[in-house]
């Protein structure tokens, strides 16, 4: 039995008003059936099979085969990414603000890749999710670029944020 048959039951409804007759007929199997997932929002796509009437209307019902609340298949196939990122300087540090791209039903780790613009020196931090994080011990008055991605035990399919760049605050001026 095919995976899509186990997950879904497609019903044909001709007419949508309660006073109209609803006719159910056997249809040819749909083609190009796929489930995609971005940030744990799942989307079913399919093409009607050959010979399906052009005015056919479909309703999708999900068949739940276990008591698990999270399908291991959908979690591992989902694409997680990119978090919302903002970056600003704060002395010899950067203030990183993150917005989670998904509901925090699990506790992901964020991989923060920091690169100094002038010479390309870089390092990576693994941090638990917090809305604000201070990246410390940086050189004042220097530009750094940061990209952030989600890391999860359940899923390795992630999309990194675009680079966000900011200067640490300039060093204090020397008065003579």
pLDDT in tens, 44-69: 788 888 888 888 877 777 776 666 55
Model pTM? 0.62
Whether the CA torsion 153, 155, 156, 159 is positive or negative: it is negative
CATH class of the domain comprising 84-167: mainly beta
109 Cβ contact partners less than 8 Å away, ≥ 6 residues apart:
126, 127, 128, 129, 150, 151, 152
pLDDT confidence band for 9 (50 / 70 / 90): very low
- Residues of the chain above pLDDT 70, percent: 66
pLDDT of residue 16: 45
Range(s) of the chain covered by CATH 2.60.40.10? 84-167
pLDDT digits (tens, 9 = 90+) for 33-45: 887 776 667 777 8
Planar angle of CA 106, 75, 10, nearest 5 degrees: 130
Copy the structure tokens of residue 47: 């093409």
Residue 150 bridge partners (DSSP): 110
Kindly report the number of other CB atoms within 10 A of residue 127's CB atom: 15
């Amino acid at each position: 039995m095919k995976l899509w048959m186990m997950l879904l039951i497609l019903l044909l409804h001709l007419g949508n008003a309660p006073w109209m007759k609803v006719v159910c007929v056997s249809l040819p199997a749909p083609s190009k059936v796929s489930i995609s997932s971005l940030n744990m929002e799942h989307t079913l796509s399919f093409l009607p099979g050959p010979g399906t009437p052009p005015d056919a209307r479909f309703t999708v019902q999900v068949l739940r085969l276990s008591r698990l609340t999270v399908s291991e298949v959908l979690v591992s196939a989902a694409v997680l990414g990119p978090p919302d990122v903002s970056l600003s300087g704060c002395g010899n540090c950067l203030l990183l603000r993150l917005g989670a791209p998904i509901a925090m039903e699990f506790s992901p780790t964020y991989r923060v890749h920091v690169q100094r613009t002038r010479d390309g020196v870089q390092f990576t931090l693994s941090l638990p999710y917090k809305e604000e994080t201070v990246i410390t011990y940086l050189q004042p008055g220097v530009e750094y670029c940061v990209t952030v991605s989600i890391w999860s035990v359940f899923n390795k399919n992630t999309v990194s944020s675009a680079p966000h760049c900011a200067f640490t605050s300039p060093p204090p001026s020397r008065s003579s």
